[in-house]
């Protein structure tokens, strides 16, 4: 158990650090290539913040642990929406100014429903996984169009400011892009091995470990990025990080894992417990962030409610662990 715990702790630390270096390197490299700032923020940074989930789930699927992969994807979305946005709103209430973010909120809910339909038979085939990856490519295309047409959107000004604070020479940017990706793979391998070892020792399912330990660890970059952005007054970046990551998790993370290791028999709890909780949080996020009667906003009370929902869900999982 001790080597497994050390592997998880070391994997978490290296994962967070390498993900940050990877995102900075990728964004700076894209900037040197002449890519518009808003496009970098929506596509490059959005992809980069989901890189830990993608790599961890791919490693889990390659190791024959697809339940850990699906748990990581859904669990990360629950952590992002409940814990990350809850903590961020308590630090600084989040005001949604960007029209792009407002358009992404119903899109996120629709993607969640689509994934639920594919998982309805408690299985995920390779064909269904390819459909998710095709949806991911469609999302990238939509993001490119939205970014190119979004000149003047409040998100653009925040993104320019953020990218300028992380500017670096091209050589250093390419170095951190490559080194960050390599270290992501190494840290993910350590994290998956430790998580599976602990699951076997405790007699709990890979799904539970994916929903808890692994999901929390892979969501730490989003937590750090959103809290820092909110403290800087970059509210649209704070919520945009979460919304973009959630969409990428459902389409790319689940899709990659399913292509590598199709899931002919999935734990029924995915549809009876985890997916409904995720969708309920998505619905709450839509109501708060879209602003049906005015400007979208997540205030401190709403942030506390998101945190309470996250705590209640984890208490539910704790009961499942104790019953195992």
- Say which CATH number the domain at 36 has: 1.20.1420.30
Asked if 28 and 40 count as a contact pair (C-beta separation under 8 A), the reply is no
Domain range for 170 is: 2-323
In the numeric block, the tokens 């969708």 are attached to 279
In the numeric block, the tokens 């390819």 are attached to 130
Which residue spans within the chain are E strands per DSSP? 94-96, 296-298
CA dist 44 to 31, 48, 61, 302, Å? 10, 6, 24, 30
How many structural domains comprise the chain? 1
Handedness of CA 236, 237, 242, 246 (dihedral sign): positive
For 121, residues 6+ apart whose C-beta sits below 8 A from its C-beta are none
From first to last of its 324 residues, the chain has per-residue pLDDT tens of 788 889 888 988 888 888 888 888 888 888 888 888 888 888 887 777 788 888 888 988 998 888 889 999 999 999 999 999 999 999 999 999 888 899 999 999 999 999 999 999 999 999 999 999 999 999 999 988 888 887 788 888 888 887 887 788 999 999 998 998 898 888 888 888 888 888 888 888 889 988 998 888 888 878 888 888 888 888 888 898 899 999 999 999 999 999 999 999 888 999 999 999 999 999 999 999 987 767 788 999 999 999 999 999 999 998 877 776
For 84, residues 6+ apart whose C-beta sits below 8 A from its C-beta are 219, 222, 223, 226, 242
């Amino acid at each position: 158990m001790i080597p497994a715990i050390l592997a998880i702790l070391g994997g978490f630390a290296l994962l967070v650090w390498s993900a940050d270096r990877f995102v900075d390197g990728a964004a700076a490299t894209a900037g040197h290539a002449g890519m518009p700032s808003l496009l970098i923020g929506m596509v490059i940074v959005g992809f980069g913040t989901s890189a830990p989930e993608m790599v961890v789930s791919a490693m889990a699927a390659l190791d024959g642990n697809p339940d850990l992969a699906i748990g990581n994807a859904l669990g990360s979305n629950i952590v992002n929406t409940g814990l990350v946005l809850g903590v961020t709103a308590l630090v600084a209430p989040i005001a949604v100014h960007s029209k792009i973010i407002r358009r992404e909120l119903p899109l996120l809910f629709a993607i969640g429903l689509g994934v639920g339909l594919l998982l309805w038979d408690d299985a995920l085939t390779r064909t269904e996984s390819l459909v998710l990856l095709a949806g991911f490519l469609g999302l990238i295309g939509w993001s490119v169009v939205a970014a190119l047409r979004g000149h003047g959107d409040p998100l653009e000004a925040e993104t320019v400011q953020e990218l300028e604070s992380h500017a670096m020479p091209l050589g250093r940017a390419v170095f951190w892009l490559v080194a960050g990706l390599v270290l992501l793979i190494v840290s993910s391998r350590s994290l998956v091995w430790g998580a599976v070892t602990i699951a076997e020792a405790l007699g709990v399912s890979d799904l539970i470990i994916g929903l808890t330990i692994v999901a929390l660890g892979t969501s730490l970059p989003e937590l750090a990025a959103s809290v820092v952005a909110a403290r800087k007054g970059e509210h649209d970046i704070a919520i945009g990080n979460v919304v973009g990551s959630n969409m990428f998790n459902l389409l790319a993370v689940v899709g990659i894992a399913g292509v590598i290791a199709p899931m002919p028999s999935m734990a029924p709890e995915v549809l009876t417990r985890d997916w409904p909780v995720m969708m309920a949080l998505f619905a709450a996020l839509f109501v708060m962030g879209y602003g049906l009667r005015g400007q979208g906003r997540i205030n401190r009370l709403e942030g506390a409610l998101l945190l309470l929902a996250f705590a209640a869900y984890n208490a539910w999982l704790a009961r499942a662990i104790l019953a195992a």
